[in-house]
Structure 1
Amino acid sequence: MIPHLDCQVCLLSQGLKMARIAVPDDPEKHEKLLHEWALRLNTLSMEQTVPHWAQQLYPLGYEILGNSDPYAKIKREANRQVMQAVPAVSEIVKASDDSLRTALNVSIIGNYIDHGPPEMFDWQAALDEENDTSFMDGAVQELEKLLKPGARMLILGDNTGEIALDTILAKVLMERGIDLTYAVRSAPILNDALMEDAEFVGMDKICRTMPSGCITFGTVLDQVSPELLKIYNSADIVLCKGQGNFEALYERSNRPVFFAFKAKCRVVADKLGCAQGSSMFICEG
């Protein structure tokens, strides 16, 4: 997805938020990070994606702040909090008339747990309130055609907390006999999930789980590991979770993919012609 100038403003807001989390009592470092990020943004191409920009900015921010994972505590708490909800949500999925639709809906609601966009949403309320899955009608029919026993499927994961709800979807897929791989980020960025988070929520006990090679939010294909790229290219199904993966791969993927996420920012919502905060399940290609 081609970025907008609004995306630069959003990234600067992310940087300031991160600085205040990492060093709340050091306004000089807050100012330095904003200044250095603004200078770096001025050198980046509008033909790239926001995840491309972020992989230039965040390591610079970590260096300035002296902290390589400012969201570590927030990520642990998100995983812990969502894991408490998983048993009850799992029972709802099992009791539903269509476990795949319900598990996908739950997984997409989990994408609300994101510290990148300026607005935070109430994922717990959404689990109770957002039960209409008609938004996924077309794409879920295409997915059903591909979900044959033995089909190779890759899920590109996104955030902590969200990954706990993704375990419910992973179990539904494994029960269908799907050969499933779940990929996480390879280095800290925002509240995105790493291997340690996958292990905490037990994703590694459900399916093959691996780091993507990416150090930014979203899967940038020229950055992924050779092993993951091989899986990506050969999979029968690729499901891209989260807005970061949408920004990285929409209109840039070299193969058919599914996108499952919340359109949390105005730029993405405008791109898709939907209301901000809408659940999206899209098949492209």
Structure 2
Amino acid sequence: MLASKQCLECLYNQIKNILDIFPQTNNDDILQEVRKNLKKLPKAPPPKIAVPIYKKLSTMSNQKDFYKQIKETGIQKAHNITQNLKQNLPLNNPYETLKESIKIAALGNIIDYGSQTHFSFENFSSAADFAIFDFEIFEKMLQKSKKILYFADNAGENLFDAILIETIYRQYPNIQIFYLTRDKPIINDITLEDITQNTLCHPLQKFCKILSSGMASPGFIYSDAPKKIQKMFNEADLIISKGMGNFECLENIKDSRLFLLFKIKCQVVANFLNIPIGKMIFKQNIY
């Protein structure tokens, strides 16, 4: 999915919002450079365009990870929420457990940690409002799978992903699961360092192998990935792509193994899919 004019304006506003929260002495210079660079960038998916823009921000501000504290707070709040959700899983019914675990993973893409600290299992069903839910074919393919690739998204969201990953591991202990993070800090996306340095994230390592995707972009771009990761992608029996950034980069790869799991958060994506903002998607990427 190629970036539109609205995407470029959104990216500019992201940088402006960061500088509003974390003011720099050269705010105006940074914004001027960002605006200038946005005019020169070639057509590409929004996450690919974000890389040089965030690199410019990092260089001009001398800040490696603006969102470090916000990510840590998000992980703590996600931990509190997911403990309740996990306890309410229907463990006596594996089919329903898997289905609900997918919905819980999707919730990580819904929750605004700043305003929904008291999110509860009772309002879970109404919050997870799916326009597409290709669960049956996913469940059938899972039964025959030996290797799963799971592309991570935001910090905190990884704890929701962990519930789905643990469910798959316990139901199919012979499946190898690889959880791929961003290679470097960008926005509030989860990195390998974020996971290894935060003890709340450590339990995930019992159920999967956590790796860097080798990608600095807030979305997995197959053509830019290291050969090792491309090989893993090619050899996987199932691929779970989490979040809108990964969707924007992978939607053009029509592959029965690829399942896209995200919330529609902007009008551009809503128009692209012809589905309203706010709806959840769990889509086998063959159409």
**TM-score, with structure 2 as normaliser:** 0.88
Contiguous gaps of at least 5 residues in structure 1: none
Q: Which residue of 2 aligns with 1:41?
A: 38
1 CA distance for matches of 2:40 and 2:247? 23
SS of 2:40's partner is: coil
2:182 to 168, 171, 185: 185
Deviations 1:97-145 (A, max 9, x none): 5011111111111013579xxxx87475475424156837651111011
Deviation at 1:277, TM superposition (A): 1.7
SS of 1:99's partner is: helix
Deviation at 1:94, TM superposition (A): 3.9
Aligned pairs for 1:1-285 within 5 A: 1-22=1-22, 24=23, 26=24, 28-46=25-43, 48-95=44-91, 97=93, 98-112=96-110, 122=116, 125=119, 128-131=122-125, 135=130, 139-148=134-143, 151-177=146-172, 178-199=175-196, 200=198, 201-202=201-202, 203-252=204-253, 256-285=257-286
What percentage of aligned pairs have identical amino acids? 26
2 CA distance for matches of 1:279 and 1:123? 20
Contiguous gaps of at least 5 residues in structure 2: none
SS of 1:31's partner is: helix
Letter in 2 for 1:41: L
Deviation at 1:34, TM superposition (A): 1.4
1:19–1:263 Cα change, 3 Å: same
Deviations 1:204-234 (A, max 9, x none): 2321110000001000112222222111111
2 CA distance for matches of 1:258 and 1:85? 25
Taking only aligned residues, the RMSD between alpha carbons, in angstroms, comes to 2.3
Contact 1:186–1:194 under 8 Å retained in 2: yes
Deviations 1:236-269 (A, max 9, x none): 0001000100011111466741100111111112
2 CA distance for matches of 1:253 and 1:14? 30
Q: How many matched pairs?
A: 277
2 CA distance for matches of 1:123 and 1:144? 31
SS of 2:193's partner is: helix
2 CA distance for matches of 1:18 and 1:210? 28
2 CA distance for matches of 1:124 and 1:238? 32
1:198–1:137 Cα change, 3 Å: same
1 CA distance for matches of 2:71 and 2:52? 22
1:232–1:136 Cα change, 3 Å: farther
Contact 1:19–1:33 under 8 Å retained in 2: no
Deviation at 1:3, TM superposition (A): 1.8
1 CA distance for matches of 2:48 and 2:4? 13
1 CA distance for matches of 2:39 and 2:131? 38
**TM-score, with structure 1 as normaliser:** 0.89
SS of 2:99's partner is: helix
Letter in 1 for 2:207: I
